Amino acid sequence: MKLIATDLDGTLLNENHEISEENIQALQLARDTGTEVVVATGRSYSAAKLPLQNAGLDFPIICLNGAKIYDKEERLIRSSPLDKDTCREIQQVCQQNNMYFEVFTNKATYSESREKFLEVMIDIMVSAFPNLTRKDVEAEAANRFQQEKIETIHDFDALFNREDIEVYKVLAFSMDDAVLDRVRGKLTNEDKLTITSSGFSNLEFNHPDAQKGIAVRIFAEKYGIDMQNVMAIGDNFNDVSMIKAAGFGVAMGNANDEIKEIANYTSKSNRENGVAYAIKEFLNK
């Protein structure tokens, strides 16, 4: 393999949202043997950079599902913002269905209410991690609010009317599968919008050019690497485009079964250093 593209949450990061020592060593081994490494995540750039810095790692970052691409020197090399009319349509449909949503822009990430954010995050975490205490759940929710540098705003119409604002992603949440399906169906429009998901309770809205697979291909071309020599590792539906585009797609052991069916190989889970396991198994193949 000449290029490895890895997702963060549920993939490179363990249950503590950290990069394990085993994963650090495997990524350093890959780089030392001449393999390029790029991170591809739905997170904003600052939120993606933090766990890498904490692990002493420095890689190019595809963030917001490919809406923004940064090289290792932190230079923005490509961006794919949403059309403002499309943003207004997303806002309208989400509000009609009582979905909490966040808007990721070139200035900040905006939410209508910190309290509603915490309420939604706590509901999701209680469902996903029933063994956590209420105190731990509240701490995790508050930590995400800080990591993404979320600001509250009460007038999204005014935000979308600002000429200095570019919107890169809208992230919407609901614990009701019927609501998620209804909103997805209402907003499905391949010409204006790509809809993916990074978890069982959310929808992610991006420009059609903002996909991890497209962004990974851009890096491969930059390095002169054929896509057949690319390994892409992920766990969720916003990883599908890069898993399909890569010559060798890897699903994490904790991935949804549909992701495993698309991939060429299923590794161990993110709790079991699945990224390191896949790299050591296939680095020289």
Beta bridge partners of 33: none
Question: 56 burial class (0-12, 13-18, 19+ CB within 10 angstroms)?
Answer: exposed
Tell the residue number behind the tokens 């978890």, with chain if given: 199
| Both tokens assigned to 181 | 């399906």
Q: Provide the angle, in degrees to the nearest 10, between the axes of the packed helices 45-54 and 134-147.
A: 110
Catalytic residue among 7, 9, 235, 239: 7
Amino acid at 106: N
7 counts as catalytic: yes
For residues 37 and 31, the answer to whether their CB atoms sit within 8 Å is yes
For residues 193 and 206, the answer to whether their CB atoms sit within 8 Å is yes
Give the Å distances, CA to CA, from 255 to 10, 26, 210, 231: 8, 21, 22, 16
Q: Which residues are catalytic?
A: 7
